[in-house]
């Protein structure tokens, strides 16, 4: 009943907008800002999407709906030839707009099929189309580029990320802002889009990307092209084009979700465990967190000693080790927390890492090992001068984003919440949270609001102590 009424109201608004909009313009999508746009001249899109901690990441003035990535990679020369075609909608009149791209040479840019001029400055590629783009219109940008991708560096926690060449291909794990090391785009999780990949590699090399394969690989003249499609919205940092020698296994989870695992020959003995455990955990999380958000699950183990894993959408990537159940539980929990529900700004990263860490504890408890409560109590006993108490996890620092506090104290925050509101409300909160924001964006405030609404409790003091104070909660 409520749904139908809302539908009618929206339809009425749409029709009246059509009636008064000029014939060549789509109906306005939002506020009265359209009036001022009509009187002002077209503006340059902002070089950043508006994340105060990462002012250059992403871009303003448009929203990407789809990336079509065509990549040809030669492991022996480490050279990548790429053509990226982006479909986007303008959120303002645009005289020019930016894409994020680090290094690599740009050969040609077209907008709507017409050549556009472009300039480079740092990691910003500024595109000036031949004619201005009107707010509300959709447009297509095509960038032809090539070069030897250079990975990005994080000094605090993770080392190298982005496109990392390996002996037989590449290990591609781009969080937080490394997608610009291998394709031009709007490199911030506030702008998600669907992806198509066509990746060409020397015959014998395998190319793995997000989502599912569309058809069999085709080999022509000693080169094989693999095609993959992620048909649900995805943040750029979760996109991967991991290449190399791989053994693969595909099928479905016991509950029927398509499952695909891959392992470098050096980790051949990990393949069946990765496949089976990923299937079992995906099915369990679907019970605990709500329906699996994507069209397939799985994972990949590459022979690159990253020592960590990344939750690449549908295909977490494990770097140079045999993944145990705990890390598989972590990366698969991210498919809900981080991938389906994405953060709008990096300081809310505990919404990803705190939840995925808590999921490790829940998995252990489910398996009859250590309970979440026991994990919580153990960490709670860390001395008052321990580093996790100094770092408030609710405000992840740009120069120390992946601090242990964001993971551990973030997870503890959820356990403190569970103790305060009880198991029934806590687990229904998790499901309501994932349902309400499926494929969307979240903030810490929206989580606190929902927790208070579902529990009927005032929880500001709890969240303040656990997320925002530089000291151990009382």
List residues near Zn ion by CB under 5 A: 353, 356
Q: How many chain residues bind ligand TRP (CB under 6 A)?
A: 13
Minimum distance between the CB of residue 402 and ligand TRP, rounded to whole angstroms?
A: 5
> Dmax of the chain from CA atoms?
67
Minimum distance between the CB of residue 332 and ligand TRP, rounded to whole angstroms?
A: 10
Q: How far apart are CA 400 and CA 393, in angstroms?
A: 11
Tell which one of 308, 321, 379, 439 touches ligand TRP (CB under 6 A): 308
Instruction: Report the partner that residue 94 touches, choosing among Zn ion, ligand TRP, none (CB closer than 5 to 8 A by kind).
Output: none
State the residue number with the nearest CB to Zn ion. 356
For residue 310, state whether it binds ligand TRP (rule: CB under 6 A): yes
Q: What are the C-alpha distances in Å from 202 to residues 74, 120, 302?
A: 7, 31, 18
Structural contact between residues 408 and 266, judged by C-beta atoms closer than 8 angstroms? no
Any bridge partners for residue 206, and if so which? 244
For residue 161, state whether it binds ligand TRP (rule: CB under 6 A): yes
Q: Which is nearer to ligand TRP, 87 or 150 (CB)?
A: 150
For residue 406, state whether it binds ligand TRP (rule: CB under 6 A): no
Structural contact between residues 94 and 45, judged by C-beta atoms closer than 8 angstroms? yes
Minimum distance between the CB of residue 449 and Zn ion, rounded to whole angstroms?
A: 24
For residue 285, state whether it binds ligand TRP (rule: CB under 6 A): no
Minimum distance between the CB of residue 461 and ligand TRP, rounded to whole angstroms?
A: 29
Helix axes 350-366, 372-380, angle to 10 degrees: 120
Q: Which is nearer to ligand TRP, 230 or 331 (CB)?
A: 331
Q: Which DSSP category does 217 fall into?
A: -
For residue 83, state whether it binds ligand TRP (rule: CB under 6 A): no
Q: Which is nearer to ligand TRP, 109 or 310 (CB)?
A: 310
Q: Which is nearer to ligand TRP, 51 or 353 (CB)?
A: 353
Which of 439, 464, 289 lies closest to 366 in space, CA to CA?
A: 289
Tell which one of 331, 388, 410, 463 touches ligand TRP (CB under 6 A): 331
Minimum distance between the CB of residue 330 and ligand TRP, rounded to whole angstroms?
A: 6
Q: Which is nearer to Zn ion, 109 or 356 (CB)?
A: 356
Minimum distance between the CB of residue 127 and ligand TRP, rounded to whole angstroms?
A: 28
From residue 340 to residue 359, the character string flagging contacts with ligand TRP as x (rule: CB under 6 A) and all else as - is: -------------x------
Q: How far apart are CA 308 and CA 160, in angstroms?
A: 11
Segment interacting with ligand TRP (CB under 6 A) among 33-41, 253-261, 301-309, 463-471: 301-309
From residue 162 to residue 201, the character string flagging contacts with ligand TRP as x (rule: CB under 6 A) and all else as - is: -----------x-x--------------------------
For residue 402, state whether it binds ligand TRP (rule: CB under 6 A): yes
Q: How far apart are CA 437 and CA 259, in angstroms?
A: 24
Tell which one of 83, 104, 143, 158 touches ligand TRP (CB under 6 A): 158
Q: Which is nearer to Zn ion, 175 or 230 (CB)?
A: 175
Structural contact between residues 196 and 65, judged by C-beta atoms closer than 8 angstroms? no
Q: Which DSSP category does 424 fall into?
A: H
For residue 311, state whether it binds ligand TRP (rule: CB under 6 A): yes
Strands 212-213 and 193-202: unpaired
Q: Which is nearer to Zn ion, 73 or 355 (CB)?
A: 355
Q: Which is nearer to ligand TRP, 69 or 328 (CB)?
A: 328
Minimum distance between the CB of residue 95 and Zn ion, rounded to whole angstroms?
A: 40
The H or E element that residue 36 is part of is helix 33-39
Q: How far apart are CA 27 and CA 333, in angstroms?
A: 39
Instruction: Report the partner that residue 310 touches, choosing among ligand TRP, Zn ion, none (CB closer than 5 to 8 A by kind).
Output: ligand TRP
Q: How far apart are CA 459 and CA 397, in angstroms?
A: 24
Neighbours of 353 (CB within 10 A): 26
Q: How far apart are CA 164 and CA 149, in angstroms?
A: 8
Q: How far apart are CA 344 and CA 322, in angstroms?
A: 32
Q: CA torsion sign, 330 to 335 to 336 to 339?
A: positive
Q: Which is nearer to ligand TRP, 27 or 398 (CB)?
A: 398
Q: Which is nearer to ligand TRP, 175 or 264 (CB)?
A: 175
From residue 115 to residue 144, the character string flagging contacts with ligand TRP as x (rule: CB under 6 A) and all else as - is: ------------------------------
DSSP string, 264-301: -GGGGGGHHHHHHHHHHHHHHHHHHH-S--SS-EEEEE
Q: Which is nearer to ligand TRP, 186 or 339 (CB)?
A: 339
For residue 57, state whether it binds ligand TRP (rule: CB under 6 A): no
Q: How far apart are CA 193 and CA 202, in angstroms?
A: 29
Structural contact between residues 100 and 187, judged by C-beta atoms closer than 8 angstroms? yes
The H or E element that residue 389 is part of is helix 387-390
Strands 441-442 and 342-343: parallel
Minimum distance between the CB of residue 347 and ligand TRP, rounded to whole angstroms?
A: 15
**Interface with ligand TRP (CB under 6 A):** 158, 161, 173, 175, 306, 308-311, 330-331, 353, 402
């Amino acid at each position: 009943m409520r749904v139908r009424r809302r539908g009618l109201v929206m339809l009425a608004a749409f029709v009246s907008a059509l009636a008064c909009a000029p014939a060549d313009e789509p109906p306005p999508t939002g506020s009265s800002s359209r009036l001022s746009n009509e009187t002002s001249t077209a503006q340059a899109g902002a070089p950043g999407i508006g994340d105060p901690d990462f002012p250059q990441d992403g871009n303003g003035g448009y929203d990407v709906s789809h990336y079509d990535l065509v990549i040809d990679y030669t492991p022996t020369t480490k050279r990548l030839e790429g053509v990226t075609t982006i479909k986007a909608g303008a959120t303002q009149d645009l005289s020019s707009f930016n894409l994020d791209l680090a290094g690599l040479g740009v050969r040609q840019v077209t907008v709507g099929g017409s050549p556009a001029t472009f300039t480079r400055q740092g990691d910003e590629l500024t595109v000036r189309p031949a004619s201005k783009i009107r707010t509300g219109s959709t447009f297509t940008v095509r960038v032809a580029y090539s070069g030897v991708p250079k990975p990005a560096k994080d000094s605090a926690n993770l080392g190298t990320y982005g496109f990392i060449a390996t002996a037989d291909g590449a290990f591609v794990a781009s969080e937080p802002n490394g997608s610009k090391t291998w394709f031009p785009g709007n490199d911030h999780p506030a702008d998600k889009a669907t992806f198509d990949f066509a990746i060409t590699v020397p015959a014998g090399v395998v190319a793995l990307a997000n989502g599912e394969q569309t058809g069999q690989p085709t080999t022509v003249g000693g080169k094989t092209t693999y095609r993959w499609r992620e048909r649900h919205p995805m943040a750029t940092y979760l996109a991967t084009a991991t290449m190399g020698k791989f053994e693969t296994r595909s099928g479905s989870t016991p509950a029927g979700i398509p499952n695909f695992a891959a392992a470098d020959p050096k980790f051949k003995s990990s393949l069946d465990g990765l496949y089976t455990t990923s299937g079992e955990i995906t099915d369990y999380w679907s019970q605990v967190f709500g329906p699996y958000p994507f069209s397939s699950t799985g994972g990949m183990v590459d022979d690159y000693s990253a020592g960590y894993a990344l939750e690449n959408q549908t295909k977490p990537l494990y770097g140079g080790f045999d993944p145990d159940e705990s890390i598989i539980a972590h990366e698969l929990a991210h498919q809900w927390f981080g991938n389906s529900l994405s953060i709008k700004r990096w300081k809310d990263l505990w919404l990803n890492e705190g939840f995925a860490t808590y999921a490790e504890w829940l998995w252990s408890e489910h398996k009859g090992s250590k309970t979440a409560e026991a994990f919580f109590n153990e960490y709670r006993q860390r001395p008052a001068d321990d580093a996790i108490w100094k770092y408030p996890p609710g405000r992840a620092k740009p120069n120390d984003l992946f601090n242990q506090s964001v993971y551990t104290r973030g997870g503890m925050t959820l356990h403190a919440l569970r103790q305060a509101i009880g198991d029934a409300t806590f687990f229904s909160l998790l499901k309501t949270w994932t349902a309400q924001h499926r494929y969307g964006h979240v903030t810490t405030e929206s989580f606190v609001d929902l927790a208070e609404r579902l529990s009927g409790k005032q929880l500001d003091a709890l969240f303040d102590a656990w997320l925002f104070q530089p000291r151990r909660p009382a």
